[in-house]
Amino acid sequence: MTVPEKGIPDMTRFHLNRHPQFAKPRGPVVEVIMDGVGYAPASAGNAVAAAYTPFLDWLLETVPWALIKAHGPAVGLPSDKDMGNSEVGHNALGAGRVFDQGAKLVSRAIESGRLFEGNVWRQLVERVAGGRGTLHFIGLLSDGNVHSHIDHLLAMLQRASDEGVHRVRVHILLDGRDVGERSALQYVEQLEKKLSEINGLHDRDYRVASGGGRMVVTMDRYEADWRIVERGWQAHVHGRAERTFDSAAEAIRTFYDEDPRVIDQFLPPFVIVDEAGRPVGPISDGDSVIFFNFRGDRAIEITRAFEDDEFPHFDRGRRPDVMYAGMMEYDGDLHIPRNYLVAPPEIERTMSEYLVHMGIRQFAIAETQKFGHVTYFWNGNRSGKFSEDLETYVEIPSDRVPFQERPWMKASEVADELLDAIRSGSYDFLRVNFANGDMVGHTGDFRAALMAVEAVDLNLSRIRRAVEETGGVLVVTADHGNADEMFMLDKQGNPLTSEEGAPKPKTSHTLSPVIYAVYDPAGIFSVDSSVKDGGLGNNAATILEILGFEPPEDYLPSLLARP
């Protein structure tokens, strides 16, 4: 084997052989990811099946297609009970292989004790052990296993007590999105039970200090609305909120009583106070802070609020001198955060990196809510581009309005830019994410979800025409389900209803498979519709073959039918 000279990259590592059967089409290859558009039989609450979708109807009636998995082990999650999400989905789409993802990595690190043996955990604990300071935990309190898992928090609380941490405060973000929409109390009860056990057996001072719904407090992403982070900063750090309570359970029940329609993800910020009305857990100099979400997108902004010296996004007021750590490294290139407990999967040799080395011109576009997915996550948790010359990334700013009020979102603006790029002749491979099915699906509004799916379908018709005009190939898939199941269903598939008789909305992702279809007007490329065990990880090899390359040997196989 020839070893490259020092300082000279090994280009053979990224060389792809020309495919013996397939040649690159005359026009561009365009891949559409319909975010949150799963495939399921028509039923009550299936907004995808109920929507007016002439393009998708035509596609599935005309072109061979397959159903592929987008959840569980197929995307690196622990079991088939684990819903997929946009982050692991785009990792798999771009990587061509499946890597163990956040939940698995963290669970194994805790079970093996590796997390607690690491330098970061040791420093966090030593800083506050023996009553010298407070250890704070901030994160999403649920077992949704998408951003976090309550079991991880409970295990760390127990270990902290075992290692002599006298005082702990927990700042809880309420879910209602990856779990039941009004399930917060069951998780608060679990947490309070553990805190009581620790306090009773070890003479500790462990309490909940603040909280709020995840879409209102702390967990913004892609800098869509820094006010969300500011609310969290004020509640967690300064102990300030418009509403104060004696306990988290009291806060949640009060909000439920005041607005019977409000769901957990939209509950306002609250602070827990003592008998004198003082907040029980503001964050002070000398404390340690752990953000226990393992998923990165909604963890980066609050992390920057703790770590960035220059911070123009809101007035932080007093910035405490703390040791801050994330559960994982949320951005490997920007090294956010500086300290983390569990290393993320190292995803290298992604499809995009291979294509850059082979001179393939690429274009990626989405609106703000999903821009990071077609760039950062697609590229294996890597910020920036592999090549400034060969890659173009376009972000269309999302509207700052509730998604159910404008379910078409920025689909047409995204499509406008994409169509110009297709017709320009400047790109060989273009990828686009339409965010509507996921973001509107999360609102639980069935009628809005119908319009969201219809908006995507309308723009797919426009993209089809551009692909036909340019002699290209169109690939249509999704990253996970959501809009395909907008109601909570019983075992017979009937909607669960509220006391008023209305269907109970479902706001989380689903376990549905997604379609994978290749439309080639020239009739050369098509999907092997007999595929039974395909998943999102098979996408990269499929795209490489359409572009005329043999995929790397360790990539999952292509979904194309053989000539």
Residue 244 host element (H or E): strand 243-245
The closest of 221, 239, 334, 248 to 284, measured between CA atoms, is: 239
* Range with the poorest average pLDDT among 44-53, 234-243, 300-309, 499-508: 499-508
Distance from C-alpha of 79 to C-alpha of 92, rounded to nearest angstrom: 16
In the predicted structure, residue 235 carries a pLDDT above the cut 90: yes
In the predicted structure, residue 12 carries a pLDDT above the cut 80: no
Q: What is the pLDDT of residue 439?
A: 94
Q: What is the pLDDT of residue 501?
A: 85
Contact 512, 540 (CB under 8 A): no
What are the two backbone dihedrals, phi and then psi, of residue 166, each rounded to the nearest 5 degrees?
-80, -35
Q: What is the pLDDT of residue 45?
A: 94
Distance from C-alpha of 100 to C-alpha of 80, rounded to nearest angstrom: 14
How does residue 294 score in pLDDT terms, banded at 50, 70 and 90? Answer: very high
Please return the burial class of 131, using the count of CB atoms within 10 Å of its CB with bins 0-12, 13-18 and 19+: exposed
Question: Two tokens at 259?
Answer: 């607005």
How confident is the model over 210-230, as pLDDT tens digits? Answer: 999 999 999 998 788 999 999
* Range with the poorest average pLDDT among 177-181, 233-237, 239-243: 177-181
pTM score:
0.76
In Å, what is the CA distance from 472 to each residue of 62, 93, 463? 17, 20, 11
What are the two backbone dihedrals, phi and then psi, of residue 186, each rounded to the nearest 5 degrees?
-65, -35
Q: What is the pLDDT of residue 333?
A: 52
Q: What is the pLDDT of residue 11?
A: 53
Q: What is the pLDDT of residue 79?
A: 81
- The residues annotated with a catalytic role in the active site are 86
In the predicted structure, residue 262 carries a pLDDT above the cut 50: yes
In the predicted structure, residue 1 carries a pLDDT above the cut 70: no
A 10 A CB-CB count for 80 gives 12
DSSP bridge partners of 330:
none
- Is domain 27-100+346-546 given the CATH code 3.40.50.10190 in the classification? no
Share of the chain above pLDDT 70, in %: 98
Distance from C-alpha of 148 to C-alpha of 146, rounded to nearest angstrom: 6
In the predicted structure, residue 5 carries a pLDDT above the cut 80: no
Share of the chain above pLDDT 90, in %: 83
Average pLDDT over residues 60-78: 94
The 3-state secondary structure of 512-561, one letter per residue: CCEEEEEECCCCCCCECCCCCCCEHHHHHHHHHHHCCECCCCCCCCCCEC
Q: What is the pLDDT of residue 332?
A: 61
Domains of the chain by residue range: 27-100+346-546, 103-342
Q: What is the pLDDT of residue 481?
A: 97
Contact 321, 360 (CB under 8 A): no
Please return the burial class of 7, using the count of CB atoms within 10 Å of its CB with bins 0-12, 13-18 and 19+: exposed
How confident is the model over 182-210, as pLDDT tens digits? Answer: 999 999 999 999 999 999 988 899 999 99
In sequence order, the 6+-apart residues with CB closer than 8 A to the CB of 500 are none
How confident is the model over 91-150, as pLDDT tens digits? Answer: 999 999 999 887 889 999 999 999 999 999 999 999 998 888 999 999 999 999 989 999
The closest of 166, 180, 176 to 133, measured between CA atoms, is: 166
Question: Two tokens at 311?
Answer: 């911070």
- Structure letter (DSSP) for residue 374: I
Instruction: Look at the domain 103-342 and name its fold.
Output: 3.40.1450
Distance from C-alpha of 241 to C-alpha of 264, rounded to nearest angstrom: 17
Average pLDDT over residues 502-525: 94
In sequence order, the 6+-apart residues with CB closer than 8 A to the CB of 38 are 48, 70, 478, 480, 481, 482, 483, 484, 485, 510, 512, 513, 514
SS3 396: strand
In sequence order, the 6+-apart residues with CB closer than 8 A to the CB of 414 are 365, 366, 367, 396, 432, 434, 459
In the predicted structure, residue 377 carries a pLDDT above the cut 50: yes
Which amino acid makes up residue 314?
Answer: F
- Structure letter (DSSP) for residue 224: S
Q: What is the pLDDT of residue 78?
A: 78
| Residue at token pair 């979904």 | 559
Q: Going by DSSP bridges, is the β-strand pair 429-434/473-477 parallel, antiparallel, or unpaired? A: unpaired
Distance from C-alpha of 4 to C-alpha of 181, rounded to nearest angstrom: 56
The closest of 480, 383, 371, 499 to 146, measured between CA atoms, is: 480
How confident is the model over 334-356, as pLDDT tens digits? Answer: 789 999 999 877 799 999 999 99
- Structure letter (DSSP) for residue 495: B
